Amino acid sequence: MNVVYFAWVRERIGLPEETVDTDAATVKDLIAELSAREDRYAAAFADTTALRVALDQELSDFDAPLDGVREVAFFPPMTGG
Amino acid sequence: MNVVYFAWVRERIGLPEETVDTDAATVKDLIAELSAREDRYAAAFADTTALRVALDQELSDFDAPLDGVREVAFFPPMTGG
Amino acid sequence: MAVRVQSDPFDAGAELNSFARDRTGVGAVVSFTGVVRDTKGDLQEMLIEHYPGMTESAIAKIADEAVQRWALADVLVIHRYGPLKPGEPIMMVATAAAHRAAAFEAADFLMDYLKSRAPFWKKEVTAQGAAWVAAKDADEDALKRW
Amino acid sequence: MAVRVQSDPFDAGAELNSFARDRTGVGAVVSFTGVVRDTKGDLQEMLIEHYPGMTESAIAKIADEAVQRWALADVLVIHRYGPLKPGEPIMMVATAAAHRAAAFEAADFLMDYLKSRAPFWKKEVTAQGAAWVAAKDADEDALKRW
- Domain assignment of residue A13, given as a range: 2-75
Rounded to 10 degrees, the C-alpha dihedral C40/C38/B76/B20 comes to -120
Domains of chain D: total: 1
* Whole-angstrom distance, CA of residue C92 vs CA of residue D50: 33
Supply the CATH number for residue C95's domain. Answer: 3.90.1170.40
Whether D118 sits inside 8 A of A81 (CB atoms) is: yes
Residues 27..66 of D with a Cβ closer than 8 Å to C: which? 27-39, 41
Supply the CATH number for residue B14's domain. Answer: 3.10.20.30
pLDDT in tens, C57-80: 999 999 999 999 999 999 999 999
Is C83 part of any domain? yes
| Minimal C-alpha gap between B27 and chain C (Å) | 18
Triad D75, A54, D5: Cα angle to 5° = 35
Domains of chain A: total: 1
Going from the C-alpha of A77 to that of each of B12, C37, D60, D108, the distances in angstroms are 63, 41, 19, 20
Going from the C-alpha of C36 to that of each of C29, D82, D96, the distances in angstroms are 23, 39, 13
Is A81 part of any domain? no
- Residue D41, phi then psi, degrees to nearest 5: 80, 15
Beta-bridge partner residues of D97? D28, D72
Sign of CA dihedral C126, C129, C130, C133: negative
Residue B18, classed as helix, strand or coil, is: strand
- Domain assignment of residue C110, given as a range: 2-35+52-119
Give the per-residue pLDDT at C23.
Answer: 87
Residue B6, classed as helix, strand or coil, is: coil
Nearest to B60 by CA among B72, B46, B78: B72
pTM of the model: 0.95
Is C113 part of any domain? yes
Is D90 part of any domain? yes
ipTM here:
0.94
Residues 16..75 of A with a Cβ closer than 8 Å to D: which? 54, 57-59, 73, 75
Whether B57 sits inside 8 A of C123 (CB atoms) is: no
* Whole-angstrom distance, CA of residue C142 vs CA of residue C107: 13
Segments of chain B scoring below 50 in pLDDT: none
Give the pLDDT means over successive 10-residue stretches in chain D (146 positions).
97 97 92 94 96 97 97 98 96 97 98 96 96 92 92
Chains A and B touch (3+ CB pairs under 8 A): no
* Whole-angstrom distance, CA of residue A80 vs CA of residue D69: 22
Quickly list DSSP for D119-144: -EEEEEEETTEEEEPPPPHHHHHHGG
Is A31 part of any domain? yes
Give the per-residue pLDDT at B68.
Answer: 96
Is D125 part of any domain? no
Is D47 part of any domain? no
pLDDT in tens, D83-108: 999 999 999 999 999 999 999 999 99
